[in-house]
Amino acid sequence: MPVAEDLTAPVRERRLAPWRDGRGTGAAAHEHRLLTAARPALPWLNWVGTFAKPLLRVPRLGWITADPLTARAVLNDPEHFTLLSEGGVGHLWAQILGDWVYDLFDGAGHYDLRTRSRELFTEKTSVAFVATAWGDRMTRARASFEAGEPLDVADLSRILVGQMVVTLLGMHVPDATDETYRSIFETGEELAAIALGTTSDTVLPAEKIAKAREIVERLTGHIDASFATASSATVIGRCRDLGLSVRETKGLSTLLMVAGTETAASAMARTAALLFDTGEQNRLIEHPEFTEGAVREALRVTSPAPIIGRSVLADLEIGGRTLRAGERIVVLTWTANNLAGEYRIDRAYIPQNRQLWFGAGRHLCLGGPLARAELTAMVQLLVGDGRPFRVVSREYGKRVLIPAYRSLVVQKVGSRYGR
Ligand code: HEM
């Protein structure tokens, strides 16, 4: 299959070298350590990926690609690639949710679901979801941060994402505190770890299936009763209005929980770190009109979902290589996106990469506009008052599925403990 596309803007590639990136105190060094803490092999895989342009075969892993055009060709070709075969996430989910997910995740039902849920997260609805879910908590965080108090952005991100889950799923949590939202976030994390953490062998043991089902029920069980009456301001109500069944709505809600929690929280704290480590926060304060670029660049450089896996369904020629049915291919989104250069808030949109951090094709992230709205709110919290901040301390998350800061404490410069 040809991988032909008009390359309008040639990209000057950045060199990636794990042994060099791991040193120093700059943005690349911190990102390197963060990736290493999450999964020690990740920086090496990312580096090997620089030779996977267009494709490279790696023993035991299968094919890898870090070429944006090849990546999109793979993700846009459901005739030859699937995520449902044994070894893929669909197989894991089927054991937890039931065989019907085969249709909903990649079959005809998926197309139907995506068509009907297209309007779920638009720029407008996403900004509204952020205002509803986060308004009060953000106002409080911003007031104390601007008054000079230290703020753990990683912790706050997990709280906010937990709050977003409650809002989207219309969960009833009376007298909720930060602790309530932290624990909802952790529940999502736990489910993701069971459902996505074992892709080398996708046959789940009975106790893991039971645990995952119990979590899914805890998070989505209320939907049976609330479906008919849920407000259209919630995802449940919107799903109903868009013609989705209760089962589809519960399946989609589970997917939202897993796909949109750790990724979003990871991006939020890493954006804060990047703005400080690169000094780009100063340019952003001078040029707030670059906020959109600051968010897009943060998504590109962090690429919180660093790899996307697929199985080959049928033999095909791609990038001059022959891929055989049953083989695996891993799209290295982090590498493909990072080769395009360092974090610059005024970098123009890169046509080759488009928004590869959200995947591409039929599984392109459904929550992209929501993730952007969430990040925009975080950037405004950090520099919206026109004053810079500094990172006081940081701790990388160890052995986590999605690379993320465990803690990232920031404070306004000029505050008692700031410089
Ligand atoms: C920075 C944050 C995020 C990143 C980097 C991200 C990335 C991705 C990627 C790469 C995929 C494609 C996976 C594949 O092709 O196998 C995906 C799918 C998905 N994402 Fe996101 N995501 C983010 C936030 C969100 C949010 C906030 C939501 C919603 C609450 C969300 C909901 C989904 C859903 C439902 C899918 C599955 C779509 C499908 O299979 O049709 N994501 N995401």
18-412: in CATH 2.40.50.140: no
**Mean pLDDT (the chain, rounded):** 90
- DSSP symbols for 256-292: HHHHHSHHHHHHHHHHHHHHHHTSHHHHHHH-GGGHH
In the structure, what pLDDT confidence band is assigned to residue 5 with cuts at 50, 70 and 90?
very low
The average pLDDT across 410-418 equals 79
In the structure, what pLDDT confidence band is assigned to residue 6 with cuts at 50, 70 and 90?
very low
| Residue with token string 């846009």 | 76
- DSSP symbols for 317-377: EETTEEE-TT-EEEEEHHHHHHTT-S--TTPPP-TTTTTGGG--GGGS-TTHHHHHHHHHH
Q: What angle do CA 304, 371, 53 make, to 5 degrees?
A: 40
CA of 85 to the centre of ligand 1 (A): 20
For the Cβ of 359 lying below 6 angstroms from any atom of ligand 1, the answer is: yes
For the Cβ of 370 lying below 6 angstroms from any atom of ligand 1, the answer is: yes
Comparing 107 with 190, the larger pLDDT belongs to 190
Contact (Cβ atoms closer than 8 angstroms) between residue 405 and residue 273:
yes
| Half-sphere CA count of 389, side-chain side, radius 13 A | 30
In the structure, what pLDDT confidence band is assigned to residue 345 with cuts at 50, 70 and 90?
very high
In the structure, what pLDDT confidence band is assigned to residue 108 with cuts at 50, 70 and 90?
confident
CA of 255 to the centre of ligand 1 (A): 9
Q: Nearest to residue 235, comparing CAs of 301, 168, 316?
A: 168
pTM attached to this predicted model: 0.93
Residue 201 has pLDDT above 70, yes or no: no
In the structure, what pLDDT confidence band is assigned to residue 144 with cuts at 50, 70 and 90?
very high
List the beta bridge partners of residue 396: 405
Structure tokens at 387: 């004053």
Residue nearest to atom 20 of ligand 1 (CA): 365
pLDDT at position 198: 59
pLDDT at position 70: 97
Least confident of 11-25, 87-101, 292-306, 399-413: 11-25
- Residue 220 burial (CB < 10 Å; 0-12/13-18/19+)? buried
In the structure, what pLDDT confidence band is assigned to residue 200 with cuts at 50, 70 and 90?
low
Q: What percent of the chain has pLDDT over 70?
A: 93
The average pLDDT across 270-288 equals 98
Instruction: Ligand 1 pocket test: pick from 257, 365, 378 the residue with the most ligand atoms within 8 Å of its Cβ.
Output: 365
List the beta bridge partners of residue 309: 330
Contact (Cβ atoms closer than 8 angstroms) between residue 93 and residue 87:
no
CA of 372 to the centre of ligand 1 (A): 12
Residue 286 has pLDDT above 60, yes or no: yes
CA of 146 to the centre of ligand 1 (A): 32
Q: Round to whole Å and give the CA distance between 168 and 252.
A: 11
For the Cβ of 365 lying below 6 angstroms from any atom of ligand 1, the answer is: yes
Residue nearest to atom 7 of ligand 1 (CA): 358
Q: Round to whole Å and give the CA distance between 162 and 293.
A: 26
CA dihedral of 225, 110, 120, 178, whole degrees rounded to 10: 60
Residue 177 has pLDDT above 90, yes or no: yes
